[in-house]
Structure 1
């Protein structure tokens, strides 16, 4: 009799001619002990009823009982619309192509939808091998009654690398978005949770689970938000796979003496997990969240308007009283002084320091319309109050236009450059950032790899293509409050210019000179911080965190410059020099992100540069710009050490300034030592901490010196200081909650994820955005109003420190 092989069997069997095919009708939930050789092939035939209204899972479990087989056993499941095949022992590969062998395998069959109300379907399970010796195995096919997940109902199951699990979920009526949460009490073994469309085959092994759908690695927690619009069948599979190794989740890297084709024992990698599918928020919550966000910050506009009205009325009454009581400079025979000549060059061309101008103004008599200080309030030594002296061994301001970062403040456009330059920087910095984060989000949406971005997945609400819209929306406060600050500065600028046009003595000869360029730059920087922080939260990760911090450096630097400019408007750094220094800071931030992680050489170089920069800046500040960096610096340093420290051991000429600089050096040297010893992974935050510490130190010094000089802080400024301090405290509390961290693996980061705590829409980090934007706005108001008490003090009576 002529024997032949069916085409299908030829595809499945390498040598069909000599094998005997045995077909048997098999039953569900029955365990079959059998033996297979290269001479026979067994086909198990199953039938079951598939209902359109009910989905049942079918699971195939196989265990190889023979300890050593010459060849693996091949199992092929032929269904109506799919074919599933696997071998036992199952070989799975880990890192560096290390191979692990599993003798127990369990697979769930995919269930394609049926159009009929009820249909009887057959499927066949073929067992074959090329081993000449008999291979003993156990086979069991069972129904999975709990194959379909129920909304808000937790389901527990076990999984291993060779026995993955997946379940079906169908969107109920009225629910368009759900969040799938998988939890485990054990950190390890590392697992993967995947969301896949209802189709065959289902990719449920470690080496193919990332092929389609959305997926996350997990230790104890994983959460994925799923929208109905992404699944035409209104249903999807939840697939859970245990990985063969733990390196992807931050576990220990195991090294083995590998031999060619060596098979490793995987050990016990069983993991118990819980899965629960819950409805996500609806559109009403989105609207409430957006209205709440707008309402908070628009209330500051209303409050500012009311305060401005009250303050305007008070100032009008005060101005009327001064105009009635005072005489004009022309009547006293005193020449009017331009507000932009304070501490700069006199009209006769003589070169004067800020103190020289102050002294000349102090020697004149007559009332300029300002309230003079009492002699007791200004009874301080000249050495402690003056910002510079006229010693011959220091260079003076003759070379102001050549080699000093010193500007003439009578040229108003100099301070406008701060705004113009930061606007230019903002445009050229923001455009590529926006393009890059859009690319990041597109890659996440296309590949489904949710390990790219470090969201708080338990409170990440998508909108359109954005995966976490709430984290982006909460940055709106920086933009709105930055714009409000610009409006406040614009109003003050307009009022001051009108006062100058009216030649009011309080505007011409009293108070600290009004230069608004740095204020405009600060407001613009706050708005850009909101924009770039929103860009960072499109896809937060290690490589783009610098976007979130770049304008924080700008804000800290501009605030320190503004503090310094208040008392030293004649020797303040130019906009070009200031932004060049900030560009150097951002440059080091980029280097730290790329090379700083665990690189000892980088940290040594950075620490040395940090200390040298601190020393150079300290010298520049102490000698008030009358110190030059050139080839004679070493000779002058040795001369100063010999004459002041060895020969006569004289104390510092400017004690207050010396105290500030000593404390500043101690803080900066300590930070440099900490960075060199600890080498933190988050270099951008470390660099930001340096900037903030220096800003706080200088601000504290300014307040102390202001109070020591007999000046006072008005009620509005005091309220701003107290309010800002309280808000900063609450903001830091929410910031330190740490809902995610890219310093760890994505799986470890998700261990810190938490549910929304505000309106079911905002999480702790969103509240940090709210509070920090308010605190920054309040900090700007403190800088703006802290010297309002000097607006009626004659300019030659204002201390310089």
Structure 2
């Protein structure tokens, strides 16, 4: 026996002969049996080989486990155990030294390893494997050896199996795909948070990487505390089977546990204590392709129903009724075919600039006449004759406009006519100019913002697929359905609502835009002199922002994590800012911020969002600076709102502030001139100061959500103020707008409920995040966060409709009778 065992030991770093005295090592081979404990002693002068006979069956897999205990106290000369199998060799030393963070060493005297099972072609085959025991210690070292068969080594579908693991006693089990099942979910659970552990999915091969220092070498793996889940597809494993490997880590830092002390000496060994963990594993079938189809059809059906509902409402608005409306729509489709063949387009008494506008008018203006009196050339000439070279910033055409602004804006009670003093020629075309600036600028921003985002998340997904590291992305692993290269297709699909409803809102705005332009062409008195001035540019920008929110949210959910969360929130800031700007523009059309100023301010907000994500976590200096800037910005905006833009930020502002305080508060104690504006400003400052104090005291880790909360609170405050002042001014809310308000409020309530379920959180470690994972709750395909996507997209769409229809009751009211607030 010594002739063939010495070369193997030499390869493993051991000498066949005693280097000190030159004596030949005494090699003893013993026939051993399963489930028998062998107590023995090993020295540098002897080597023991245990021979085991094992029957391997092609149709049945049995696990074999080797357990070793070293009874001596010293760590200077460990015992080497070499297990020689057919097609595999496994070696380990006892005490087993495992390294943790900062190369800290943890010795383990009790080691248990499961042997991999090489495949066999025969129906039944008898195989030998040998356990070689040797050491370089001159003193005898006592040990115990036991080899046993593993019960339930092959996992059964939907059957839970419990076991115990530790850093030196990892466990792994085999699973074979049954016929008809192509995808399964491997779930591992434990009642214990710690010790931290790792679950891994590996192909059937030898060796099996089942130690803390090599478990991440191949396959898919993730850290876990109480929960772990990995979706496995048959196509990734040619043998139609795989190993489920469970390894307990030597330290808990990877799972958010306490950091152990740093050793005083580099070679110091640290007592690891008892790190055994009881776990259970269960493999369940995943959803089949039918569920994917049902989920996609359900998602499309929900949002297509809003298109049908919009068409129905448009038909109901006509006095002729739904049937007549549908007949007219069909007639117009026939007219469209004639137009495409004859090259003529209906223009009298209305104008269309392109076939695209006419196509939209066919579906969104069923009451339009069907005449085709003028050719395309005449339409083009009429539009060219009416165009002017007026730019968006050419607001004022009077020579004394500067003094006029000062006089008008200091009136105690302002009307919309006081702040809509553009020339009628400018009013006619300012809408087109604003659409150009706001919508085209946001489209440019979206392109340059989205392209790097798409590239980055594709890279993230590729890294996850190549490395198998499931800790990179924070999915809800219990409800993450893969499709192709995407790990969580359902989270991406549920963002479709933002895109579809954003497009629908753009079509609705376009319909109103066309109708309003026709009224201007006819010189309709109501369109020129009544109602809130129609500026659709911000509405177009809002619809585009909603579509981009869907795209970027989908990109974020390709691989949600700490570094790309701002992708999901950037256009939320844009939407909140544009909604506030639109509310302000309704009653202050001439003094509203330009597109460039608005987008520059939003860029600053996104810049602070990035800084907060990078530097905000636990950084006191950052929070102090941000809180100061937040309060100063609130004061500057308050001044802008109160004085309607008629103030200057220069070196004399402090002197003027002192003078105002002295004259209005000390000398005569007069109340504020603009009570309503003052109430809004005081409430806004209270809310923002409280938010700033909360951020400075609590310093939340999720800075992006904190910043979004500031934007949403201010938007809700301004919106509530607008509604209250509208009712206080004697105006009314029409039925359609009231239905939108109530519907949107209810949907927002349900949406926020599902949002705060918190199925994952990148503020914690990946293992801690998985503790919040839950199963799908809708169609076995969508989870709580997907429902949040559905409801929030509907709620945002409803909010936009509220802004669009809220002042429809004023369309026949003269502007000098509509109050500004």
TM-score when scaled to structure 1? 0.90
> What whole-Å deviation, never above 9, does each CA across 1:86-145 have from its counterpart, x for those lacking one?
000000111111111100000000012212222111111110000000110000111113
Judged with a 3 Å threshold, the aligned counterparts in structure 2 of structure 1 residues 520 and 553 are, in CA distance, closer, same or farther, namely: same
* Deviation, structure 1 residue 409: 8.8
Q: Which residue pairs with 2:333 in the alignment?
A: none
| Aligned residue number for residue 569 of structure 1 | 589
**Equivalent residue runs for 1:538-549 within 5 Å:** 538-549=558-569
Q: Within 2, Cα distance between the matches of 1:633 and 1:719?
A: 46
The structure 2 residue matched to 1:152, chosen from 151, 158, 165, is 158
**Structure 2 residue 514 is the aligned partner of structure 1 residue 508:** no
Deviations 1:136-167 (Å, cap 9, x if unpaired)? 00001111131100000000000011000000
Q: Could you tell me whether the CA contact under 8 Å between 1:195 and 1:236 is conserved in 2?
A: yes
1:365-404 → structure 2 map (5 Å cutoff): 383-385=412-414
* Aligned equivalents of 1:32, 1:544: Cα separation in 2: 56
Distance 1:519 1:505 in 2: 24
CA distance in 2, matches of 1:388, 1:496: 19
Going from structure 1 to structure 2, the CA distance change for 1:5 and 1:106 (only over 3 Å counts) comes to closer
* Contact 2:416-2:818 at 8 Å conserved across structures: no
Match of residue 434 from structure 2: 415
The alpha-carbon deviation at position 206 of structure 1 amounts to 0.7
**Which residue does the alignment assign to 2:385?**
none
**Distance apart, 1:798 and its partner CA:** 1.0
What SS does structure 2 have at the residue aligned with 1:383? coil
How far apart are the structure 2 equivalents of 1:3 and 1:355?
A: 106
Q: Which runs of 4+ in 1 moved over 3 A?
A: 2-6, 312-317, 340-350, 352-359, 384-390, 407-414
1:733 paired to 2:753: yes
Summarize the alignment of residues 217-228 of structure 1 with structure 2, pairs less than 5 Å apart: 217-228=223-234
Q: 1:698 aligns with which of 713, 718, 743?
A: 718
| Residues 511 and 791, structure 1, Cα contact 8 Å, conserved in 2 | yes
Please list the CA deviations of residues 194-241 of structure 1 after superposition, one character each: whole Å capped at 9, or x if unmatched.
000001110000111111111111111000000000000000000001
1:67, CA displacement in angstroms? 1.8
Q: Classify the secondary structure of the residue corresponding to 2:771.
A: helix
1:485 maps to 505
Contact 1:344 1:353 in 2 (8 A): no
Contact 1:69–1:135, Cα closer than 8 Å, also in 2: no
CA distance in 2: counterparts of 1:476 and 1:13, whole angstroms: 61
Partner residue of 1:266 out of 265, 272, 287: 272
Deviation at residue 4 of structure 1 after TM alignment: 9.4
The reply to whether residue 652 of structure 1 matches residue 659 of structure 2 is no
C-alpha distance after superposition, 1:551-573 (max 9, x if no partner):
00000000000000000000000
User: 2:145 maps to which residue?
Assistant: 139
Separation in 2 of the partners of 1:238 and 1:289? 30
Going from structure 1 to structure 2, the CA distance change for 1:506 and 1:82 (only over 3 Å counts) comes to same
| Separation in structure 1 between the aligned mates of residue 570 and residue 395 of structure 2, nearest angstrom | 36
Q: Partner of 2:467 in structure 1?
A: 447
Q: CA-atom RMSD, angstroms?
A: 2.6
CA distance in 2, matches of 1:577, 1:93: 56
1:422–1:521 CA contact under 8 A, matched in 2:
yes
Quote how far apart the aligned CAs of 1:352 are.
7.1
Partner of 1:431: 451
Structure 2: stretches of 5+ with no match in the other structure: 18-23, 326-364, 366-387
Question: Alpha-carbon deviation of 1:630?
Answer: 1.5
Q: Is structure 2 residue 176 aligned with structure 1 residue 170?
A: yes
State the alpha-carbon separation in 2 of the partners of residues 145 and 667 from structure 1. 63
Cα displacement string for residues 630-689 of structure 1 (whole angstroms, at most 9, x for unaligned residues): 122122212212222222221111000000001000110111111011100000000000
1:244 aligns with 2:250: yes
Report if aligned partners of 1:342, 1:570 keep a CA contact under 8 Å in 2. Answer: no
- Residue in structure 1 matched with residue 359 of structure 2 by the alignment: none
Does structure 1 residue 106 correspond to structure 2 residue 156? no
Supply the distance in 1 between the matched residues of 2:515 and 2:168 (Cα, whole angstroms): 76
> Residue in 1 aligned with 2:11?
11
Aligned positions of 1:749-760 closer than 5 A? 749-760=769-780
Contact 1:355 1:387 in 2 (8 A): no
Match of 1:686, SS state, is helix
Q: 1 CA distance for matches of 2:391 and 2:88?
A: 86
2:688 alignment counterpart: 668
Which residue pairs with 2:291 in the alignment? 285
After TM superposition, the structure 1 = structure 2 runs for residues 286-685 of structure 1, keeping only pairs within 5 Å, are: 286-313=292-319, 349-351=399-401, 383-385=412-414, 411-416=430-435, 417-685=437-705
User: How far 1:356 moved relative to its partner?
Assistant: 9.6
Counterpart for residue 401 of structure 1: none
CA contact (8 A) 1:460 1:470 kept: yes
Question: Counterpart of 2:239 in 1: which secondary structure?
Answer: coil
Per the alignment, residue 798 of structure 2 pairs with 778
Distance change >3 Å, CA 199–CA 697, structure 1 → 2: same
- 8 Å CA contact 2:430–2:535 kept in 1: the answer is no
| Aligned equivalents of 2:691, 2:118: Cα separation in 1 | 62
Shift of the 408–99 alpha-carbon distance from structure 1 to 2, 3 Å rule, reads farther
Deviations 1:436-482 (A, max 9, x none): 00000011111111011110000000000000000000000000000
Match of 1:94 among 93, 100, 114: 100
Map 1:44-83 onto structure 2 (within 5 A): 44-68=50-74, 70-83=76-89
- Rounded to whole Å, the distance in 1 between the matches of 2:75 and 2:411 is 97
Question: In structure 2, the residue corresponding to 1:215 is in which secondary structure?
Answer: strand
SS at match of 1:211: coil
The structure 2 residue matched to 1:202, chosen from 193, 208, 219, is 208
For residues 310-329 of structure 1, what are the alpha-carbon distances to aligned partners after superposition, in whole Å with 9 as ceiling and x for unaligned? 12448999x9xxxxxxxxxx
SS at match of 2:208: coil
How many angstroms apart in 2 are the aligned matches of 1:411 and 1:476? 33
How far 1:8 sits from its partner (Å)?
A: 2.5
SS in 2 for 1:38: coil
- Asked if the contact 2:415/2:815 (under 8 Å) is kept, the reply is no
1:376 alignment partner in structure 2:
none
SS at match of 2:430: coil
Give the conservation status (yes or no) of the 8 Å contact 2:434–2:536. yes
Higher mean C-alpha deviation, range 27-36 or range 773-782: 27-36
Q: 1:733 to 1:357 in 2, by over 3 A?
A: same
Map of 2:186 onto structure 1 = 180
CA apart distance, 1:386: 5.4
Give the direction of change, closer, same or farther, for the CA distance of 1:708–1:71 in structure 2 (3 Å limit).
same
In the TM superposition, residue 283 of structure 1 has moved relative to its aligned partner by 0.1
TM-superposed CA distance for 1:191, in Å, is 0.7
SS of 1:583 mapped into structure 2: helix
* Contact 2:70 2:144 (8 Å CA) reproduced: yes
Cα pair 1:345 1:408 within 8 Å, conserved: no
The change in CA–CA distance for 1:604 and 1:389 in structure 2 (over 3 A counts) is farther
266-275 or 109-118: bigger deviation: 109-118
Aligned to 1:402: none
Contact 2:392 2:434 in 1 (8 A): no
Whole-Å separation in 1 of the counterparts to 2:399 and 2:429: 13
C-alpha distance in 1 between matches for 2:396 and 2:766: 63
**SS state of the match for residue 32, structure 1?**
strand
